[in-house]
Structure 1
Amino acid sequence: MSLLVGVDTGRRSSAALALAAQLANSLDTDLIVAAVIASAWPPMRGNVEHEWRVHNRDAADVVLEHAATVLGDQVQARYVVHESASSRRGLLELAESEQPAVLVLGSAATGQHGRIALGAVSEALLRACPVPIAIAPVGYRGRVASHITRLTAAYGGSEAAEELVLGAAPIAARAGGTLRLASFAVRPDAEFGILARIGARSEDPVLREWAARIRAHASEILDEVEDLAARPELEDVAIGIGESWAEAIEDIGWRDGDLLMIGSSGVNPLAWVFVGSHGMKIVRNAPVPVIVVPRSVSWA
Structure 2
Amino acid sequence: MTLVVGYAPGARGQAALHLAAMLARSAGDDVVVASVVPAPWVPGMARVDGEYHQQLDDAADRALDRAKELWPDGVRATYVRHRARSAPAGLLEIAHQHEASMVVLGSSSAGVFGHVALGSVTDRLVHSSTVALALAPRGFRAARDARVTRVTAAYGGSSSAEQLVVAAASVAAQVGAAMRVASFAVWRRPAYTTALGTDSEDLVLREWTDQVRETAHSAVAQVEGLAFAPHDLELVIGSGRSWAEAVEDVGWDDGDVLVVGSSELGPVAQVFLGSRASKIVRHSPVPVVVVPRARAEELAERAARTGTP
* TM norm. shorter chain > 0.5: yes
Change in 2 beyond 3 A, CA 1:171/1:177: same
Partner of 2:105: 105
Q: Secondary structure at the match of 1:127?
A: coil
Per-residue deviation at 1:44? 3.8
Per-residue deviation at 1:196? 5.2
- Cα-to-partner distance string for 1:228-254 (whole Å, 9 max, x where unaligned): 121112332110000100000000000
Per-residue deviation at 1:42? 5.0
Letter in 2 for 1:97: Q
Partner of 1:74: 74
Does the 8 A contact of 1:71 with 1:144 survive in 2?
no
The separation in 2 between residues aligned to 1:12 and 1:105, in whole angstroms, is: 8
Partner of 1:267: 265
The separation in 2 between residues aligned to 1:10 and 1:36, in whole angstroms, is: 15
Change in 2 beyond 3 A, CA 1:226/1:6: same
Partner of 1:47: 47
Mapping of 1:145-164 within 5 angstroms? 145-164=145-164
| 1:4 maps onto 2:4 in alignment | yes
The separation in 2 between residues aligned to 1:153 and 1:106, in whole angstroms, is: 20
Partner of 1:89: 89
Letter in 2 for 1:48: V
Comparing 232-241 and 198-207, the one that deviates more: 198-207
The separation in 2 between residues aligned to 1:45 and 1:21, in whole angstroms, is: 43
Change in 2 beyond 3 A, CA 1:9/1:43: farther
Change in 2 beyond 3 A, CA 1:201/1:7: farther
| 1:22 maps onto 2:22 in alignment | yes
The separation in 1 between residues aligned to 2:39 and 2:224, in whole angstroms, is: 51
Mapping of 1:134-283 within 5 angstroms? 134-187=134-187, 189=188, 195=190, 197=192, 202-283=200-281
Per-residue deviation at 1:202? 4.2
Gaps of 5+ in 1: none
The separation in 2 between residues aligned to 1:12 and 1:259, in whole angstroms, is: 18
The separation in 1 between residues aligned to 2:241 and 2:208, in whole angstroms, is: 16
Comparing 67-76 and 177-186, the one that deviates more: 67-76
Per-residue deviation at 1:11? 6.6
The separation in 2 between residues aligned to 1:18 and 1:85, in whole angstroms, is: 27
The separation in 2 between residues aligned to 1:140 and 1:247, in whole angstroms, is: 20
| 1:287 maps onto 2:285 in alignment | yes
Per-residue deviation at 1:278? 0.4
Comparing 41-50 and 257-266, the one that deviates more: 41-50
Per-residue deviation at 1:280? 0.2
- Cα-to-partner distance string for 1:27-77 (whole Å, 9 max, x where unaligned): 111101110001122534442122112211111111111211111322100
Letter in 2 for 1:278: R
Does the 8 A contact of 2:149 with 2:176 survive in 1?
yes
Letter in 1 for 2:281: V
Per-residue deviation at 1:201? 5.0
Q: Secondary structure at the match of 1:216?
A: helix
Change in 2 beyond 3 A, CA 1:196/1:98: farther
The separation in 2 between residues aligned to 1:48 and 1:196, in whole angstroms, is: 64
Identity of aligned residues (%): 46
Does the 8 A contact of 2:262 with 2:292 survive in 1?
yes
Gaps of 5+ in 2: 300-308
Letter in 1 for 2:271: V
The separation in 2 between residues aligned to 1:286 and 1:11, in whole angstroms, is: 18
Does the 8 A contact of 2:11 with 2:139 survive in 1?
no
